[in-house]
Amino acid sequence: MGSIMIDSKLLVLAGPTAVGKGTVVRRILEITENVVLSVSATTRAPRAGETDGQSYFFLSDQEFDELIAKGEMLEFATVHGTHRYGTPKQPVLAALSDGKNVLLEIDIQGARQVKAHMPEAVTVFLAPPSWEELVRRLEGRGTEQPDEMRRRLETAKQELQSQGEFDHIVINEDVAKCALSVVDLLSA
């Protein structure tokens, strides 16, 4: 009976610290059209080179609370025990109804919430080739102090245990191949 097939997808990409989510996302955006990356809101301060409204919407705690109270967050979570991050709902729904695929690069708690609210979302866990490789990547990045590194690895250990909850697990061995595997899921 003449129902309209809308095949735009909400793709949720999550994975432990230092697995290379950012690099894979950039690659996905390079090799695809019709995929938009959702801009998250956060209460953390901007880093050098980050632009408000592009990297994140940088909000005060109060502004963040207001968005939650108004029901305007699709999901939100406190990440690495420090700051809050969340996905503004309206831009995601608008892009989807516009026929675009939407990519969320969020943490695992957020991925769970999205899947609970929108079961049609496709969730992808980006996994490292091995635990040793994950540690190597985190150390190689050299952006975290030893304490913060320990905290992130502790979180990563727990996160790796939750990969079974995801619709797909993609191993980030090679960025180009990994991005292609994720993009393939959009046409599946």
Using rule CB under 6 A, residue 107 touches ligand 5GP: yes
Residue count, binding to ligand 5GP (CB under 6 A): 13
For 138, the token pair is 């985190």
Nearest to 84 by CA among 37, 40, 147: 40
Q: What is the DSSP letter of 181?
A: H
The CB-side HSE value for 140 (13 A sphere, CA atoms) comes to 10
Binds ligand 5GP by CB under 6 A, chosen from 10, 24, 79, 95: 79
Place of tokens 């005060």: 60
Using rule CB under 6 A, residue 43 touches ligand 5GP: no
Q: Which one-letter amino acid corresponds to residue 153?
A: L
Using rule CB under 6 A, residue 85 touches ligand 5GP: yes
Alpha-helix residue ranges (DSSP H) falling in 47-124: 61-69, 89-97, 108-117
CB of 104 to ligand 5GP, least distance (A): 7
Site mask for ligand 5GP (CB under 6 A), range 119-158, x = bound: ----------------------------------------
For 100, the token pair is 């675009």
Using rule CB under 6 A, residue 40 touches ligand 5GP: yes
**Which residues contact ligand 5GP (rule: CB under 6 A)?**
40, 44, 75, 77, 79, 85-87, 105-107, 109-110
